[in-house]
Amino acid sequence: MKPSQAVRSLSLAAALALCLGTPAGASTLAAAQAAWSAGDFAAAATAGEANGTEEGLTLASQAALALAGSASDPATIRTEIDRAVTLGRAAVAAAPASIMARLSLAAALGAAARSLHMMEAQDSGLIGEARRQVDAALALDPQSALALTARATWHAQIIGRVGAVMAMATYGASQPVAFEDLARAVALAPDNLLIRFEFARAILNMRGGSGVDDARQTLQGVVDATPGDAVDRLLQAKATALLDAIARDDGDARERLLKWPFAEPPPRENTLAGGPARSDD
């Protein structure tokens, strides 16, 4: 069944459910989940937001970020990242004890931070806010593989942007902590493609050229796996693109894929790689 057919089928099912007395909230959540599974992230974001519950808003935030990750137009990417942040904050407000709401918000905040020059990202508070959401998720479940991956990604992305020394001095980002978290996450969820994809990106962000062989092997495992849903297929496409960039020794393409999803920040003169530490970061 094509994605459009799947969504139409779901819309019919939702309409029938409403006629039979199913609450509207349940139907919009079902619509969001079916659209997500079909890869129709726009419909998933719309239905999830309309649902208004923590689960719906979390799914909507994830869908908006997936839209950003699928788009090529910088304005669209930035709009969808901002939307993902707004929806993620609404989800956390609706259910502060939801791990997935906090991790979805953290992912959106990370994408927003990567869309700014580093000094601007630091001054905006996005980096610190993302870390607080991840820490809150781990406090709720220290054995959450996705939360461990999110914390590792926070460390790895900062190290990739400013280098290990400045990352530790300014943000407390640590390569050993990141790799320890990723090793635990893989042990907890060995078949999760997102975790394996982020492991490969962390290797490249933190080890650079010395990690290419390990990253290539990990990425190939992502590409060769059987995808579970549309997001897995999106990750496989990005893994394939990253493998191609490595093979062609295309540094620009590789760096963009290591930051994905993000919106390219506007050119800026005299941009430094770091800045003064903030007490709340």
Q: Is 84:65 a contact under the CB 8 Å cutoff?
A: yes
- What confidence score (pLDDT) does residue 264 get? 83
Judged against a pLDDT cut of 60, whether residue 20 lies above it is answered with: no
Where helices occur in the chain by DSSP H, the ranges are 3-19, 24-38, 41-51, 54-70, 74-94, 99-114, 118-124, 126-140, 145-162, 164-166, 175-188, 193-207, 212-224, 230-247, 251-259
Confidence of residue 9 (pLDDT cuts 50, 70, 90): very low
Using an 8 Å Cβ cutoff, are 137 and 154 in contact? no
Q: CA-CA distance, 176 to 197, in Å (whole number)?
A: 18
pLDDT in tens, 25-82: 678 999 999 999 999 999 999 999 999 999 999 999 999 999 999 999 999 999 999 9
**pLDDT higher than threshold 60 for residue 15:** no
DSSP state of 227: P
Note the pLDDT of residue 32.
Answer: 95
Q: What is the pLDDT of residue 6?
A: 39
CB 63, CB 48: distance < 8 Å: yes
**Domain spans, the chain:** 25-141, 169-261
Tens digit of each residue's pLDDT (9 = 90 or more) over 194-207: 999 999 999 999 99
The CATH class of 25-141 is mainly alpha
pLDDT at 107 over 70: yes
Neighbours of 217 (CB within 10 A): 11
Is 14 a residue whose pLDDT tops 70? Answer: no
Tell me what percent of the residues of the chain surpass a pLDDT of 90.
82
pLDDT in tens, 112-157: 999 999 989 989 999 999 999 999 999 999 999 999 999 999 999 9
What Å distances lie between residue 81 and 102, 151, 224, 247, CA to CA?
A: 15, 19, 29, 30
Calculate the CA dihedral of residues 10, 231, 109, 55 and round it to 10 degrees.
30
As a whole number of angstroms, the distance between CA 244 and CA 48 comes to 35
The residue whose two tokens read 């019919």 is: 12
What is the model's pLDDT at position 27? 86
Q: Model pTM?
A: 0.85
